[in-house]
Copies of this chain bind each other. A is one copy, B any other.
Amino acid sequence: MIERVAILSTGDELTTGRITDTNASWIADQLFGLGLDVVAVLTVGDYPDRLAWAWQRALELADVVISTGGIGPTADDLTNETVARVLGVPLALDRDSADRIRQLFAALGRDMPENNLKQALLPQGAVVVPNPMGTAPGYRIEARGRHLVVLPGVPREMKVMMEETVLPWLRTLRGGDVYLSRIFQTFGLTESALDEMVAGAVDPSEARVSFRASFPEISLRIVVHGAPETAAARLETLAARIRARIGPYVFGEGPVTLEEVVGGLLAERGLTLALAESVTGGLVGHRVTNAPGSSAYLRGGVVAYGNGAKRELLGVRQETLDAHGAVSEEAATEMAAGARRVFGTDLGLATTGIAGPDGATAEKPAGTLWVAVATASGTTARRYQLWGTRDWMKLLASQIALDWLRRHALGLPLADSQLFRPRSR
């Protein structure tokens, strides 16, 4: 029965502070969902002795060791030889992996540098964990009653490999009682407000509740533990209680993005959308088009960064700009209505604001945001006061805009959020 896991994060970029280790927290979060106990995270740079030290310590501590990093093609990628040395087994060329690397290069019409084959030299006994996103194969290997899992350090490769191969395998290994979890993706409440609203809904003996903030969203997870059927029934009961308390703030359950939810709602209702973006600079369009199939409802948009574009492409009147400025209720309203008219859609969505640091005034400080939605029955605009860095403000503005579309499609009122309080003019 496996219980204890150690996570090993390797790479000089971690020990010299060049990047923050987001892999370890993501993996820890996934393991928490399986009821596994992360005993330690060990992080070392690309040195043979330090890697060997970390592997030895990790194997002393845990039933399962999950390592990220150090399996690329370059000289400082030392994980495979370290694992082989620590376990006392030779490295052997994994022919399937070698073939796959050659094929990937051939498919791209590229010559394969010889050092790429190094990635297919795996410790004897390794069972490949396929890497659909890159050339370096991962693997798992059992030795001395321990399970070792080796994955690349590139987050997007690591995550797919965890989700597709490692987590299902761990779930099987674990057996017996199950840990079932449900994630509620929320937007519009702070973590402490969420905590207060949910408090008392779940007794600690029924489930573990945890929050995870990933700006600007906060997810809430409940994990129940028990025999498969009891656990599943309890999960549904608790989920219903959570929904009753925070429903309108929950844009999705499970691993879904806000843009996918919005896209699904628009597609279901047969609504088409056009965008008029100023402060978000294309970010709303980018997010909407991240959802596959978005061409079914998105006709297009105008990134109206200059006043000329607002006027000529969206029909915003010069007198509006003169009298109220480009960051105003009037301009936002004309932009949304203009996008709807120009693209001939059911909905027009506009953002205009001041991301800073330039352009701020006492009356319209950095963080001023107007969002407007135009429909057949008229246009609604609202002002928000955001805060933070330029990229935070753009992201939060795009989130508010997308959440408007969700609430509009569902007939929900606009959120009087604690994250961003709508201001009167």
Contacts and interface: CB of A to CB of B under 8 A. Distances in A.
Interface string A5-47: 0000101111111111110111111111000001111111110
A277 interface: yes
A389 B133 CA distance: 8
- Copies of this chain held together in the complex: 2
Contacts of A388: 133
Given A15-B41, A18-B210, A304 B300 contact: yes
A65 B102 CA distance: 45
A343 to B, nearest CB: 6
A219 to B, nearest CB: 8
Interface stretch (A87-95, A139-147, A289-297): A289-297
B14 A25 contact: yes
B40 A15 contact: yes
Interface residues of A, number: 115
A387 B108 contact: yes
A302 B12 CA distance: 42
A389 B26 CA distance: 19
Interface string A304-319: 1110110011000000
Contact of A313 (B191, B223, B302, B392): B302
A256 interface: no
A241 interface: no
Question: Most chain-B CB neighbours within 10 Å: which of A13, A38, A43, A221?
Answer: A43
A418 interface: yes
A43 B17 contact: no
Question: Most chain-B CB neighbours within 10 Å: which of A156, A302, A357?
Answer: A302
Given A73-B192, A110-B418, A306-B343, 7 more contacts: A17-B29, A17-B32, A72-B213, A74-B211, A115-B195, A275-B282, A282-B287
